[in-house]
Chain A
Amino acid sequence: MKNSLSMEETPTAPPPTAAPLAIPSPEAIEVERLDFFYGDFHALHGVNLRVPAHQVTAFIGPSGCGKSTLLRCFNRMNDLVPGARIGGGSIRIHGTDINRPNVDPIELRKRVGMVFQKSNPFPKSIYENVIYGLRIQGRAKRSELDEVVERSLRQAALWDEVKDRLDESGLGLSGGQQQRLCIARAIAVEPEIILMDEPCSALDPIATSKVEELIFDLKKHYTIVIVTHNMQQAGRCSDLTAFFYLGRLIEMARTEKIFTNPAEKQTEDYITGRFG
């Protein structure tokens, strides 16, 4: 029952109008006064943040500033880290507090997909990689699989490169292709939000530009949050940028504003390369 419900709520791509949400809200993610700890280490300090739907939001900041930690709170991947806990505040996704006891992280992750820093296709065929999510969610209808594979790979701008070798191992692809395969795998289950944790940090400039173009296209269908070390990348492909420093959100604004006229001195120093 739960499954069919989530199917209805999932925006089938491309949605003609705004997707019907549990509580209609233009904000996909709302973070309020979030405190986060790894054991005794206070990793996030009272972060307030709103991520609008169908936009690309970039998190930037020096290493260890908490941007990846925050990203991994959005699909509760931090649950897997021993000693990690939320100390206070809330995260709402489409209006629902995702840390309430009656929220199943598995259902959450079906709707909030993730692409990792290191491309991690499974050592299975390209085809099996793409439909993995559908298979484990029990949504794999034999007749629709081919269609899903083609649509997902097309959306991930990988179809033309791999359409003749779908049966070959995903590990035989180049680094950039592997990362796009991971994106295809994430979008095959039609999530509402895609989290990207430094998706281009291991890629060469050409592969990076392909993935960046892809991110720009994907925002038509999905809300995207991207963590990046690379400020040019944030400048090129995001609509909004949030700057983090030492576990605090320093500033969040339209990307053009952050890069041309930041309100905070720390943001300006970081962007102009004076530290970090």
Chain B
Amino acid sequence: METTLPLAQTVANPFTHRRSPARLWEGAFRWAIRLGAYAVLLAAACIFLQIGIKGGQTVFTSHWPFVNVAFFTEKPSTLYVFDWQGQKLELSDPQFRAFQAKHPGVDLQPETYAHSAGGILPCIVGTALLVAGSMTIALFLGVASAIYLSEYSRPSAALRVIRLAIMNLAGVPSIVFGLFGAALFVTYFQWNVSLLAGWFTLAFMVLPVVITSSEEALKAVPQGFREASLALGATKWQTIRTNVLPYAIPGILTSSILGIARVAGETAPILFTAAYVVRDNYPWEVDKWTDFFFQPVQALPYHIYVVSSKIPQNAYTERMQYGTAFVFLGLVLLISLGSVLLRLRLREKLKW
């Protein structure tokens, strides 16, 4: 067997491509990882296109004002489909009643489809309220814990236990949070299925994310600011308030973006604690202001769940499913975009 390499004299280009197992593997592996990366793109495109196209048909209309206004301003209602003078009419509950009143004595023999007409305003409002309330609680508790952990606490056994608890909390499945909320807030505190119970359940769910990222944000503030402030005779809290927290806020906001998307999206935690299939009143229609906190709400993810699995399926419910999903995605994107812009503006102001 020839073992010597071809010499420069005998081969014109000694560095020419040569087949070898290593080169084959190189090519194969490069393609494998490339396909992996493109699969992500494919999955994202499929999801967004599917929801965009199907949901877009519900949300947008072909005539002025090009947006299905009723979908954003009405409650979900039953759809009535019937033939009238050779035409097929699709009316929502209030429209059908008005029609009946105009034509008394006529038996219209409509087919009815639950939850397939009207809009999703109560769900949008409910989700917005759930996000606002739970994020307020989560940010307050989370930032407070993060400040304690990163600025005040000294290494100790208790601290290790706290950190372990935070890590474990992050690994708890959301349905378990739902059960916990149902047991503690709904049953034991007797808050019933209510906005307040949902707020606290969701807040505890995102707490680990908020704490961990807030702590990172606080740690990223240069130590020099703290030292300079303390050396001027500031107390610890003065130092944190004036020279640590303000510079950590962009980072804390980043963490809350993740929190918002999760709070808005989770169905399991609100299943037993805050969400109702249908509510006759809007959240602001309460007798006493205290009732506001103790009322259940409708929510977008729960509504998708209901219209996708709790009612008979047909072409009309599909419109609601995709329309709701479309609005839901849009809402989460909008909130995220807002947080990113806010963060960018703050970053701009606080560069070091």
Contacts and interface: CB of A to CB of B under 8 A. Distances in A.
A133 B231 CA distance: 9
Nearest to A119: B224
Q: Which residue, B154, B225, B351, B352, has most C-beta atoms of chain A within 10 A?
A: B352
B78 interface: no
Nearest to A195: B231
Contact of B224 (A75, A82, A106, A118): A118
A77 B231 contact: yes
Interface residues of B, number: 21
B49 interface: no
A219 to B, nearest CB: 20
A182 B230 contact: no
Nearest to A169: B351
A189 B232 contact: yes
A113 B231 contact: yes
A132 B239 CA distance: 11
A230 interface: no
Contacts of A270: none
Interface string B231-248: 111110010001100010
A249 interface: no
B229 interface: yes
A171 B247 CA distance: 14
A221 interface: no
A136 B351 contact: no
Contact of B228 (A107, A116, A189): A116
Contact of B233 (A120, A122, A123, A189): A189
Contacts of A121: 228
B232 A109 contact: yes
Contact of A80 (B222, B230, B243): B230
Contacts of A132: 229, 232, 242
A22 B154 CA distance: 35
A25 interface: no
B155 interface: yes
B220 to A, nearest CB: 13
B74 interface: no
Contact of A122 (B228, B231, B235): B228
Interface string B137-164: 0000000000000000011000000000
Contacts of A107: 233
Given A132-B232, A136-B232, A82 B154 contact: yes
Q: Which of B228, B234, B238, B242 has the largest number of chain A CB atoms within 10 A?
A: B228
B228 A109 contact: no
B227 interface: yes
Given A82-B154, A136-B238, A122 B225 contact: yes
A110 interface: yes
A57 B129 CA distance: 63
A98 interface: no
Contacts of B229: 122, 132, 136
B342 interface: no
A182 B225 CA distance: 11
Contacts of A106: 233-235
Nearest to B246: A123
Nearest to B228: A120
Interface in A67-84: 75, 77, 80, 82
Contacts of A109: 230-233
Interface in A200-256: none
Interface string B310-352: 0000000000000000000000000000000000000000111
Contact of A137 (B154, B233, B247, B350): B233
A114 B154 CA distance: 24
A185 interface: yes
B150 to A, nearest CB: 13
A156 to B, nearest CB: 15
A186 B232 contact: yes
A82 B154 CA distance: 7
Interface of A: 75, 77, 80, 82, 106-107, 109-110, 113-114, 116, 118, 120-123, 132-133, 136-137, 171, 182, 185-186, 189
Given A106-B235, A114-B231, A136-B242, 12 more contacts: A77-B231, A80-B227, A109-B231, A110-B233, A113-B231, A116-B228, A120-B228, A121-B228, A122-B225, A136-B229, A136-B232, A136-B234
28 contacts: A75-B231, A77-B230, A82-B154, A82-B155, A106-B233, A106-B235, A107-B233, A109-B230, A109-B232, A110-B232, A113-B231, A116-B228, A116-B231, A118-B224, A120-B225, A120-B227, A122-B225, A133-B232, A133-B233, A133-B234, A136-B229, A136-B232, A137-B233, A171-B352, A185-B228, A185-B232, A186-B232, A189-B232
